[in-house]
Amino acid sequence: MTKLDEVARLTMGTMLPPFSVRLLSKTPFKKLLYNTSTMSSTPPLNRILSGFYVVLTLAVGLVALIWPSVRSWTYAPLRDALLPDFYLPTRAGQPVKLVVAAPTTLESWVMTSAAEFTQQNSLIQIEVTPLRGLDANRRLNTVTGQPDVWIAEADFARLAAGGVPYETQGAPLAQDTFIWVAASSQTALAGNLGWRTVAEAANGNPQFRIAVPPLGSLEGLAACLSAAADYYAQDRLSPAQINDTAFRSWLKALLQAAPDLSRNPRDQLASRPPQADAGLILNSDWRQLNQAGFIYQMPAYSISFNYPYYIRSNWQNVPPDEADTRRAAAEKFKAFLLGSGPQSRLNSFGLERPDTRLTAPLLTVDEATIRALQFCWQ
């Protein structure tokens, strides 16, 4: 066997070019090569290359799994199974701003709770902004400026909002419902206070005035549902019933007795003397009203305002690590609002706990009913 053949045998598998094989066939290099090759069955160069590739593969895989900006591109089931909650601290120690949109009825309670929450979580700052349920579709379907959390007035507010980029199921935070209130002088209504008796009183007395939720409000939409339930004496209503000409004419005639369809009915009843003889208001408003001089009664059919908490579900325009941080902050704030401290304060704001049972039959609302109701209270 020639020197060249022997070197070729020793360097087999190393993919060395021919000129390198000829160089190694020289005696000094040949001796070094022979001594090294007899130490292991794996050529040295192969061992180095193999080790390098293994280290590089592990490094790339580890970065892909734990680095937030890369993590979202990796294969999700494998990523979440291996390291579900692990992130490198890219935002550790940095403050997080959480924007929470809430209806005016719940706004004071949320702000009070947020102040206590931020004392315990100094890196999470909460901004509370008002949002009416019927404005949600327009306000929440924007490209930028979306709040991280939307607290709606009721579950049916989510149906009315349509395809907004928020959870479809929200955790109820509180409980509220309607209540009928009338001046004590309206003795004919005592013990029999409802839509039909109020309509009869308005028909019999041109000076009779009522206070109802304002136009363009979710409470107004719910008031239309409440009126339809009394009119048909049933708790399940179809769009055809709500759109029925006879019902609409009856309701329109009744609303002629409402002097102000732009103000909260609580404010109309709170003035002295009251601007209305009877009114349909939220129970939370009634609890904060000076009740002297009034009689009250729960409606025959209940509507639940349960203030569900919805977290944003589309974070396309937010860096992955920031989205994860804000989502985690939103979950933490939700857990806090459902805790004993904020829940114990609900009563001072006129609200009940979310698990409070309503005594009257609860009206059911589906998407078709919501569409019909949107043209009812205008």
| Structure confidence by residue, pLDDT tens digits, 80-94 | 455 544 433 445 567
Sheet holding 210-211, edge to edge: 210-211, 278-282, 178-183, 294-297
CA distance 195 to 230: 6
Decide: helix, strand or coil at residue 263: coil
Q: What is the CA radius of gyration of the chain?
A: 35
Q: pLDDT at position 1, please?
A: 55
**Residue 102: predicted pLDDT:** 97
Q: Are the C-beta atoms of 187 and 297 separated by less than 8 Å? A: no
Contact 231, 247 (CB under 8 A): yes
Q: Which tokens is 309 given?
A: 């908490």
Q: Residue 64 — pLDDT band, cuts 50, 70, 90?
A: low
pTM of the entire predicted model: 0.75
Alpha-carbon distances of 79 from 59, 65, 67, 72, 316, rounded to whole Å: 15, 6, 11, 9, 19
For CA atoms 168, 172, 174, 178, give the dihedral sign: positive
Residue with the larger pLDDT of the pair 16 and 132: 132
Q: How many beta carbons lie within 10 A of that of residue 249, not counting itself?
A: 10
Note the helical H segments in the chain: 3-10, 18-24, 27-37, 44-66, 68-71, 76-82, 104-120, 136-140, 155-161, 195-204, 218-232, 239-242, 245-255, 265-270, 283-287, 320-337, 340-345, 367-373
- 96-174+306-359 and 178-301: identical CATH topology: yes
Query: Distance (Å, rounded) from C-alpha 154 to C-alpha 61?
Result: 45
Question: Could you tell me the sign of the dihedral formed by the alpha carbons of 332, 334, 340, 345, in that order?
Answer: positive
Please report which helix (H) or strand (E) contains residue 99, including its range: strand 96-102
At residue 173's C-alpha, the angle toward residues 171 and 179, to 5°, is 125
CA distance 303 to 195: 14
Token pair for 370 = 């919501």
CA separation for the pair 328, 124 (Å, rounded): 11
Q: What is the pLDDT of residues 332-362, one digit of tens each?
A: 999 999 999 999 999 999 999 999 988 888 9
The answer, yes or no, to whether residue 58 has pLDDT greater than 80, is: no
Q: Measure the CA–CA gap between 72 and 321, rounded to whole angstroms.
A: 9
The amino acid sitting at 155 is D
Beta bridge mates, 151:
309
Could you report the per-residue pLDDT of 196-226, keeping only the tens digit for each?
999 999 999 999 999 999 988 999 999 999 9
Name beta bridge partners: 362.
302
Number of Cβ within a 10 Å radius of residue 68:
18
Taking the C-alpha atoms of residue 293 and residue 182, their distance in angstroms, rounded to an integer, is: 9
Is 96-174+306-359 CATH 3.40.190.80? no
d(CA 89, CA 290): 53
Break the chain into its structural domains and give their ranges.
3-82, 96-174+306-359, 178-301
- CATH, range 178-301: 3.40.190.10
